[in-house]
Amino acid sequence: MTILETNIASQIVKQETSEAGTLHFFNHIAVVEFNEGMHIDLNSARKTIHDLIAYFGNSKPFGLISNRVNSYSIALLETSEVKSIFPNLVAYGIVSHNEAGRMNAEIESNYCADKNISYTNLYEALDTVYGRVKHKLSVSLN
């Protein structure tokens, strides 16, 4: 199920589309839906990276959810570079809609600081990732 097919679609603040896929922005979270067959690396995701920085800056804590409605690959060896590009990315999640997607999410989790990043339900991912961002916001305000 794409984010546009959910009952929270009306809460999307902004959308950006690129050759890689579509970004859906909420206040403290972005949901990305990459296109079928893409190989996501720093080059192919250049516009996505630019759009995330333009929206969240480099200090506002935010969460990112990859809603794997399509099959794509990701350059896992670039994970450390992604972390340096987004110092304010405090929560990450992957929503998988089939067994292959779940297996990929488990592999990706080995490269992430958060170990519980795999979800089978978009609502659960949104709730958990938002909770982590909210916690970081409250800690940074104190």
Handedness of CA 123, 45, 86, 71 (dihedral sign): positive
Tokens in use for 87? 């110092």
- Summarize pLDDT for 67-120 with one digit per residue, the tens: 999 999 889 888 889 889 999 999 999 999 888 777 777 777 776 666 678 899
pLDDT (0 to 100) of residue 113:
67
CA of residue 29 relative to chain centroid, distance = 8
pLDDT (0 to 100) of residue 114:
67
User: Residue 98's domain is classified under what CATH number?
Assistant: 3.30.750.24
Domain span at residue 74 reads: 3-141
With a cut of 90, say whether residue 6 has pLDDT above it.
yes
In the chain, DSSP assigns E strands to: 14-17, 21-25, 29-34, 39-40, 62-68, 73-74, 89-96, 118-119
pLDDT (0 to 100) of residue 41:
96
Task: Report the chain's terminal Cα–Cα distance, integer Å.
Answer: 38
With a cut of 70, say whether residue 140 has pLDDT above it.
no
pLDDT (0 to 100) of residue 131:
94
Torsion of CA 11, 42, 85, 125, to 10 degrees: 40
More confident residue, 19 or 78: 19
More confident residue, 105 or 12: 12
Spatial distance between the Cα atoms of 26 and 6, rounded to a whole number of angstroms = 14
Q: Residue 87: what are its φ and ψ, rounded to 5°? A: -65, -15
- Summarize pLDDT for 21-52 with one digit per residue, the tens: 999 999 999 999 999 999 999 999 999 999 99
List of residues 6+ apart from 132 with CB closer than 8 A: 63, 90, 91, 114
pLDDT (0 to 100) of residue 52:
98
Cα 73 to Cα 29, 32, 61: the distances in Å are: 22, 14, 26
Tokens in use for 11? 């809460």
The number of domains in the chain is 1
pLDDT (0 to 100) of residue 141:
58
